[in-house]
Structure 1
Amino acid sequence: MRPVVFSARIGGHGVLSVVDRALLVEEAGFDQVWTGNDIFGEPGLVTLAAIALRTSRIRFGSGVIDPVSLHPAQVAMFASGLQELSGDRFLLGIGAGSDVFFRWGGINPAKPVTRTREAVLAIRELVNGRSPAGVPGVADGWTAQAVLRSWRPTPIYIGAMGPRMLDLTGRIADGALPLCLPPRHVYGVVDQLSAGAAKAGRTIDDLDVAACVWASISDDRRAARHLLAKHIALYSGSLSADALIANGLDPAEFAHTQELMLAGREQEAIASVTDSMLQLGIVGGVDDVIEQCAALIDAGVRHISFGPPVGPDPAAALQLIGRKVLPVLRSHLS
């Protein structure tokens, strides 16, 4: 079996704050760090270049770049450049992007699965020194001259949520970045990825599947619980009722919390988050987080990716995970 990977998904306000946090993640002993590049959001490409220069060991990835606001050829160029700059530590995360954000800029792209498939297949050709022209599944219009001057092979991950995107990821990607809410949702994700992989003559072992979870850790368990409850309250209206039911959760509880949020009663909404609802993430003190992560690993999960909110003090939480959680989990595996 492949070794277990631990990564952190980070954000911040401004390039320097994110780079400083990436350094902290490296020093804490994580294997990978991921940061975003949303259109109208933080300048992720600048941040990734800075991370390449400021870090020395950790692998780092884009979580995620969309191939709409950036043409696939540009994505391939940037990926190859980041590989060269970092000594081949870069991981290219691709996602369909947000149609809401695209509309802000007057952009009307193809459907999410179509644009993702066309881009990933084209980018793979480009970062391996080939033209995408004539490759099955790639959009029309590429010519034989469409070859990068400076190319560098780069692993490609897809940010996937729905069944069709997971199927696509299983068929064509090197890795998957599914948001697993609750963490045990990763088992269903793996089943869907496996089915997609089988269609392409592959197995799930050909992919690095990151169980992207919400995490809140603190020596103060109450503070950790309150922070995750606040995070859940903020997103209570954005969660699929079908997905909640499939994971044994009650959509009515989330609807009640959403009603309180919409009425401006935030503190009541946070207080309404039940222990059952907290199963959406990994939460608690060191022992709690170790127990929850170990259960995932024992069930076959090979990559746990800790994401926002992480903890009441995100920097302290990352250090706590690195100092007290990861060593125990790694010894648990040996």
Structure 2
Amino acid sequence: MTRPVTFSARIGSASAGVEALADRALLAEESGFDQVWTGNDLFGHSGLVGLAAIAMRTTRIRFGSGVMDPVSLHPAQIASYASALQELSGDRFLLGLGAGSDVFFSWAGLTPPPPVVRTRQAVLAIRELLAGRSPMGVPGVADGWTEQAVLHDPRPTPIYVGAMGPKMIAMTGRIADGALSLCLPPRHVFGVIDQLKAGAESAGRSIDDLDVAACVWVSISDDRDEARALLAKHIALYSGSLSTAALEANGLDPEEFARTQALMSEGREADAVASVTDSMLELGIVGEAAEVIDQCGALIAAGARHISFGPPMGPDPAAALRLLGSQVLPRLREQF
């Protein structure tokens, strides 16, 4: 992959308030990040209002939805939002799409098509709409569109897909502009790149056509022990939600995570956190600035071209952004 290295920050949802979210995006901009991404879950805090606030508070940084789903939001409405956000921001918006949660949809009585199908249909339809065309008759788009389905004032927008499973990743390689893949551990990005490459090549494309974000957990602090303790707690909280196959494929022991999850299930959180081993900490990037530089540098040297820093970030997320911006990003930009 030959594209320049991109650094982004996943700054969460508007759970602390829209203004606070915009403040964090502005801090990321001032700290030298290239992109920020926000959350948008059904029944959670809406990311759409936050995106508008970010567009109005920042001037340089690109910002994206991580992610909108095409079930609770119709693809035509998503395309309309994207065009409006492009207009508001001077074409800095990045549209992140994902399948969404079947659990959340069931709460609303929604019964959508399978995840890969609905995501593919949405990406293809939205791309047509953003180009000023109707999706009617386009191969891979759902039936029911008419020739009148043309968006007013469309603005082309890059489309990223939140992809985890192999089928979703391969589809992303075939049709999307970028991939948002949670890489646990960070080295998992290379397996994702291989799958994206195969998908892209099957459609006559190159992997260089995609912005592949290695979405990693990072915990950074001037206090190394504090950073490690925070990541250990984060891992304990998610120890029962991780794919056994993915852990094994990356040389991690699922039994270690099962033991931690058992302690969490018994309500013994402190013991669970204490049970997180050094090998389990490989799920994220952790330590003082120098350690984070080394870990990120190894990924970039091996071919990663987009590092997306995400929760837990650090004991103080704002301080973590500043530390990444003042010490980590400049060093990595010098090296690569």
- TM-score, normalised by the number of residues in structure 1: 0.99
Does 2:99 correspond to 1:68?
Answer: no
Residue of structure 1 equivalent to 2:169: 166
Matches within 5 A, 1:119-130: 119-130=122-133
Q: CA deviation at 1:16?
A: 1.5
Letter of the 1:121 counterpart: L
Secondary structure of the corresponding residue to residue 240 of structure 2: helix
**Mapped partners of 1:193, 1:304: distance in 2:** 16
Secondary structure of the corresponding residue to residue 301 of structure 1: coil
**Mapped partners of 1:20, 1:239: distance in 2:** 32
Residue of structure 2 equivalent to 1:215: 218
**Mapped partners of 2:23, 2:274: distance in 1:** 33
Matches within 5 A, 1:83-122: 83-122=86-125
Residue of structure 1 equivalent to 2:273: 270
Does 2:230 correspond to 1:227?
Answer: yes
Post-superposition CA distance 1:62-103 (Å, at most 9, x none): 000001000000000000000011000000000000011111
Does 2:290 correspond to 1:293?
Answer: no
**Mapped partners of 1:130, 1:123: distance in 2:** 10
Residue of structure 2 equivalent to 1:7: 8
Q: In percent, how many aligned pairs have the same letter?
A: 75
Post-superposition CA distance 1:117-146 (Å, at most 9, x none): 000000000001000000000000000000
| Residues paired across the two proteins, number | 333
Post-superposition CA distance 1:29-80 (Å, at most 9, x none): 0000000111111111100011001100000000000010000000000000
Post-superposition CA distance 1:293-312 (Å, at most 9, x none): 00001001100000000000
> Is the Cα contact below 8 Å between 1:183 and 1:281 reproduced in 2?
yes
- TM-score, normalised by the number of residues in structure 2: 0.98
Residue of structure 1 equivalent to 2:241: 238
Q: CA deviation at 1:179?
A: 0.3
**Mapped partners of 2:260, 2:213: distance in 1:** 29
Letter of the 1:122 counterpart: A
Letter of the 1:35 counterpart: T
Letter of the 2:294 counterpart: E
For structure 2, the residue ranges without an aligned partner over 5 or more in a row are none
For structure 1, the residue ranges without an aligned partner over 5 or more in a row are none
**Mapped partners of 1:66, 1:43: distance in 2:** 12
Runs of 4+ in 1 over 3 A off after TM superposition: none
> Is the Cα contact below 8 Å between 1:30 and 1:58 reproduced in 2?
yes
> Is the Cα contact below 8 Å between 1:215 and 1:282 reproduced in 2?
yes
Residue of structure 2 equivalent to 1:39: 42
> Is the Cα contact below 8 Å between 1:15 and 1:42 reproduced in 2?
no
Once structures 1 and 2 are overlaid, which stretch shifts more, 152-161 or 14-23?
A: 14-23
Residue of structure 2 equivalent to 1:49: 52
Does 2:183 correspond to 1:180?
Answer: yes
Q: CA deviation at 1:242?
A: 0.7
**Mapped partners of 2:103, 2:16: distance in 1:** 22
